[in-house]
């Protein structure tokens, strides 16, 4: 038995798949593929599957992955060929092989975020972020609701492109198995203070990084 990690992109209309939807999509794809997938034992056998870092609804990503088990060893080409044509538009498989890092190594995620609206207002958002020592937002978890300063948690904030009615920036947000900071919190802050449409922004997760800011391939 071997553990396989499938790496994939989630873009386009697939951003409307919730994490639960995505689990069902991948389970169906594995069943359709004919691969010798290992199932759990007991009264309700199911495919053993774990996602490295679940993605928020409405966000795109170039660096998604999940692990499952095969009852026999197969090459990357055999796995990818077997799964060809089993997935909906927007889910693109990029690699298949042994897991190359542990989820506990993930400490940051690099996001590329595109905001839309009046250029002056978009610039106000950026100026506020760059000059304000504190950006206090409300973070809601299953256990509690807390007020946090996200300015001290976000790293390497950079404006990378400005258009007539758009502004794109990149930033590193805390991510991983122990703590996550959803970039939507920053967009909601901009929305509350400057009136931008937080839900209308494009959010793309580009890479996952470890504590030393090395990209986890």
The structure's pTM equals: 0.94
> How does pLDDT run across 25-73, given as a tens digit for each residue?
999 999 999 999 998 887 788 898 999 999 999 999 999 999 999 999 9
pLDDT for res 48: 87
Low-confidence stretches of the chain (pLDDT < 70) are none
Round to whole Å and give the CA distance between 116 and 23. Answer: 31
Q: Which domains does the chain have, with CATH numbers?
A: 2-99 (3.30.70.580), 104-209 (3.30.70.60)
Distances (CA, A) of 113 to 2, 61, 161: 37, 11, 10
pLDDT at 147: 94
How many residues are there in the chain?
Answer: 217
User: What residues have CB less than 8 Å from 88, skipping those under 6 apart?
Assistant: 13, 14, 25
């Amino acid at each position: 038995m071997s553990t396989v990690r499938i790496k994939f992109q989630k873009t386009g209309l697939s951003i409307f798949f919730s994490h639960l939807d995505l689990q069902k999509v991948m389970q169906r794809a594995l069943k359709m593929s004919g691969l010798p997938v290992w199932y759990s034992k007991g009264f309700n056998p199911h495919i053993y599957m774990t996602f490295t870092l679940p993605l928020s609804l409405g966000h795109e990503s170039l660096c998604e992955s999940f692990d499952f088990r095969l009852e026999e060893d197969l090459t990357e080409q055999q796995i990818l060929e077997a799964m060809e044509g089993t997935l909906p538009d927007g889910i693109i498989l990029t690699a298949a092989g042994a897991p190359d890092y542990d989820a506990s190594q993930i400490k940051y995620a690099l996001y590329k975020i595109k905001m839309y609206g009046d250029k002056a207002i978009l610039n106000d958002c950026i100026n506020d972020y760059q000059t304000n020592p504190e950006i206090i937002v409300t973070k809601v978890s299953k256990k509690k609701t807390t007020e946090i300063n996200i300015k001290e948690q976000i790293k390497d904030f950079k404006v990378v492109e400005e258009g007539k009615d758009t502004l794109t920036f990149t930033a590193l947000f805390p991510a991983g198995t122990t703590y996550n900071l959803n970039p939507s919190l920053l967009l909601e802050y901009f929305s509350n203070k400057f009136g931008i449409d937080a839900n209308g922004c494009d959010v793309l997760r580009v890479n996952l990084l470890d504590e030393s800011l090395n990209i986890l391939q």
